[in-house]
Copies of this chain bind each other. A is one copy, B any other.
């Protein structure tokens, strides 16, 4: 008998459970007593907020994060191998995307545990939809491997790839460096390259601006320390 691994999305802006999550999320959480997450405290608070379990105390939460070793996955996934439903919850958005959840999913595939992904908010996907850029070809790069010395080189390489393949380039930055990143981008990109900055997606102050670099230079914005996604598309 083998279990099931639900990939459970969480919210990306505070207090949006009731508007942004489909019923499928509530049903999966209701069926599940064993959870893996990067941060037990926030995962517990999230599950509690859904109000589908009588008591949060009877549930099991274990840590699955970037420090989890491959040899630990078997132990963490034991309930699924014993036939139980388990859930992976991301710190923000969809598990397996820009987070360590993929470790558990890969284990499930190799042990014939059914994997069920569930729809939920993803800042990467929402930003791509809202950018107006090419959604037929795109690439996500996570955090750019940047220090201020080589920032321009990395950004120009992305711009070259974008032009060559007509490919939208998507990346994120740690919030406290958002404004430095925007500065790097405006200094390094060509004037006719299109740049989108999507801030606080699904939140109250959601801000999504797409325009060419030359237009950005005329009307820059201060992003501040809030979650942001950056997208660029070079002119053909």
Contacts and interface: CB of A to CB of B under 8 A. Distances in A.
Given A107-B132, A117-B127, 7 more contacts: A97-B128, A98-B136, A102-B131, A106-B133, A117-B129, A122-B125, A139-B140
A118 B102 CA distance: 25
For chain A, what secondary structure do more than half of its interface residues adopt (helix, strand, loop), or is it mixed?
Answer: mixed
A9 to B, nearest CB: 8
A208 B110 CA distance: 12
A109 interface: yes
B105 A130 contact: yes
Interface in A10-59: 18-24, 27
A115 interface: yes
A109 B136 contact: no
Nearest to A96: B129
A130 B106 contact: no
Interface string A69-108: 0000000000000000000000000111111011111111
Given A129-B96, A130-B96, A132-B115, A106 B22 contact: no
